Amino acid sequence: MRQNRWNDKEAEARLRDAGNHPADQALALRVYSSRLIGADPDLVMHGGGNTSVKVERENLFGQRQRVLHVKGSGWDLDTLEAPGLPGVRLDPLLKMRELGALSDEDMVNMQRSNLLDSGAPNPSVETLLHAFLPHTFIDHTHATAFLALANLPAAEAAIAEIFGDRLAVVPYIMPGFALAKKAAEVFEANPEVEGLVLLQHGHFTFGETARESYDRVIEHTNLVEEWLEKQSGGRRFETTVKRSRTAADRETVSRVLPVLRGAVGRVRGARHGMTSKPVVMDVRTGPEIDAFLSRTDLDDLAVRGVASPDHVIRTKGQRLVLTRDDIAAGDERIVEKTEAFADAYKALFERQNARVGGTKVLLEPHPCVAWIEGLGIVGIGKDASAASAASDISEQTVEVMSQGEAAGGFHPIGEDDLFDMEYWSLEQAKLAKAADKPFGGRIVAVTGGAGAIGLATAKAFAREGAAVALIDFDREACEKAAAFIGGNCLAVVADLTAKGAADAAIRSVTERFGGLDVLVSNAGAAVQGNLLELDEEKLRASFELNFFSHLAMARAAAGVFRLQGHGGQMLFNVSKQAVNPGKGFGAYGLPKAATFFLVRQLALELGGEGIRVNGVNADRIRSGLLTDEFISSRAEARGVTASDYMAGNLLRSEVEAHHVADAFVALAKSDRTTAHVITVDGGNIEAALR
C-alpha cells in the first residue's frame, strides 16, 4: 500500500521559505507534493509522470496574467525544484484548443514561445492536457497498480466497480494535442470526477490545493491495490524496485553475462559501422522475479508490450528470453538468440516504417531487457544509468504483468501504437540531447581504488562516462570512495594477495555491470629495506602484492575479455623503480621490474585477441606509498624543502595523482597502442625508458 507522506509542518516550512507572493507559495507546495509523489517509484518511474499548478503573475508592464507551471523535460519528480516547473502563459495555450489539428512541432514551438523564461526547459509533452483541465493543481502518475488496471481487457468495467463515478475514463491516444482535447471533453462530460484514468497509460488527479490532489493520488492507488489483491487471491506487494543484484548461481552469471554483453555489443556496433559498441548491464533477482521467470507463458509476455507507452523508449517493446535450456546449450545459443532478436526487431521496423511512409531511421536493434531463467532480469543500456533505468522499469513491468494476468489479462497498446511511441520525434529528441561520453558503455575496474592514484583514476574514468568498480582491501575507505564517485560505482573489498581473490573480485564486477573492458591494476605498497638484510618473508609478501596480484588480476580479466569477444585493455601501475632503482627499495623495485616485463609479455601473448596491455611509470606521487612523513625525511636527507623535493624533476613541478590518472585514460583511448609504458614523473632522465 502507498503511504501518505504529507506533513503539515514541512508544507508550512515550504510556504515560509517561498516568501509572500501567492504564486511563489503555490509553486512551493507544488514542488513539495511533487517530490512526495516522486519518492515512491511505484507511483512514478524514471521521469514518468508530471505535475502542474496554475497561478497569476504580473508581467513587466504590471499586467496580471494566468500562468501554468508544469514539469519540464529533464527533471524527475523525486528531485524536482522550482526551475523544473517552467512557467507558461496559460491563455495562449487555452486558445490552441480551438484548433482542429496541431503538429507536435508546432505544439512544442507554441509552448516554448509562451515561456516566461526563454531559457527554461521544454514544458512536458502533456502540457496542454494540464492546461485544458480547469483545476489549480494536477498530478499525473504511472502507479504500478493503475498500470495493471489500465491494461486490463475489461478496464472500464473494473474502474467502475472500484470507483463508481469518481473517475472518468479516457481511451488510449498518443500524448499530445489530440489526447489533451479528448481528456478535456471527457472531464467536461463528468465535471464532478476526482480524476481520470487514461487507458493503457496512467492516472490523473486534480484539486484546488496541492494536498487535495496528492491525497487523491494515494487514496485512488490504494483502492486499486486492494482490488487487485482480491482478484489475485491475496497476492500483494509493497514495492517493485528492490535492486537485489546477487544471483544464487554466481558462476553461471559470471559466464553468461559477458557472452551476452559481447553479443549485444556486436549488434550495437554493426548499427554504427563498428566491430563492437559495448553496453552496461544491471541484474535484478529475487523470489518474485524467479517466480515470474518460471511462467509457462514467458515467450508470449516477452513480446506483449510495455506497461506504459513511454517505457518503450528505455526498454523496447520486446525482451530477450534465455531459458535454462538456452544457457545449458552454451555460448553459441546465447549469441544466436541475441542476433535473432535483432533480426526480428529490424523486421518489425521495416514493416512499421512502411506503414508510416518510410520516414523513420532504425534505432539500435539490440535488446534493452533480457529475462534469463534462473538468473533474473537484466537491464541493458549505453551506460550504467540507462541499464539501471531499464531494470527498474522491467521490475515494475513484471509486477504489472503478474497483477494484470491474475486480474483478467495484460493487454497494452499494440505494435502500431508502440512503434509510433518509440519513434515519436519528441521522445527521440530527448535522447538525442544526451550525447554519449567517450567511455559510455565501458566498464573499468581499478585495484587499489581507495588510494590516491586509484581514486583519481576511477574519478577520471567516471567523468568519461565509464561504469567503475573500485577494488581495495580497506572496506571503509573503499566504500567511502565509491560513494563519493556515485551510484554507478561499485565497491569491491578484496585482499588481492589471497588465493582466488582476483577471480572473486572480477566476478563481482561482472555480476554488477555485465563484464569488463579496462583493468587498471594499480594496487601496491613500497616495501623498504636493503635486500641482503631484508627478511625473506617480507620480500615474498612484496612479490605477492606488487607482482603476483597483478598477474592474478590479468588472468581473471582476460577470462572475461575472451567471453565477451571484443578485446579489452589492461593498464598497470609499474613505477620508475622498475628501471631506476632507489636505495633501500629493492624489495619494491624487483617485483615492479617483473611487472614491467609482465606488460610486455602479456601484450605479446594477447595482442592477437585484440587485448591491449600498457603501463604507467610514475614517480613521487603523494599517496599511501609516499606519505608526508616519508617526504619530509627524504627532503631533509637531501637538504631541501618538501616542496622542492616533490618538484625535483626537469619541469620543476610536483606530479599529482590526477596526472597519473590522465595518463591511464590517455592509454585507454589509444586504440592502436600496446606494449607501451608512459612515464609520468615531470622529467627524470635516470628513469627514462629510451
Please give the positions annotated as active site: 588
Asked if 326 contacts 336 with a C-beta cutoff of 8 angstroms, the reply is no
Asked if 571 contacts 668 with a C-beta cutoff of 8 angstroms, the reply is yes
Instruction: Name the H helices within 19-123.
Output: 22-38, 90-95, 104-113
Give the separation between CA 199 and CA 173, rounded to whole angstroms. Answer: 9
How many other C-beta atoms can be found within 10 angstroms of the C-beta atom of residue 652? 10
Asked if 621 contacts 660 with a C-beta cutoff of 8 angstroms, the reply is yes
**Grid cell at residue 37:** 509523489
* DSSP 3-state percent helix, strand, coil across the chain (nearest 5): 50, 15, 35
Give the separation between CA 254 and CA 198, rounded to whole angstroms. Answer: 42
Angle (nearest 5°) at CA 374 between 267 and 490: 65
Query: What is 345-375 written as a DSSP string?
Result: HHHHHHHHHHHTTS-------S-SEEEETTT
**Grid cell at residue 148:** 495493471
Give the separation between CA 405 and CA 416, rounded to whole angstroms. Answer: 22
**Grid cell at residue 100:** 482542429
**Grid cell at residue 294:** 518460471
Give the separation between CA 669 and CA 6, rounded to whole angstroms. Answer: 50
Strands (E), 357-420: 369-372, 376-381
Give the separation between CA 366 and CA 371, rounded to whole angstroms. Answer: 14
Cβ-Cβ contacts under 8 Å for 277 (sequence gap 6 or more)? 265, 268, 269, 271, 441
**DSSP classification of residue 573:** E
Give the separation between CA 613 and CA 324, rounded to whole angstroms. Answer: 36
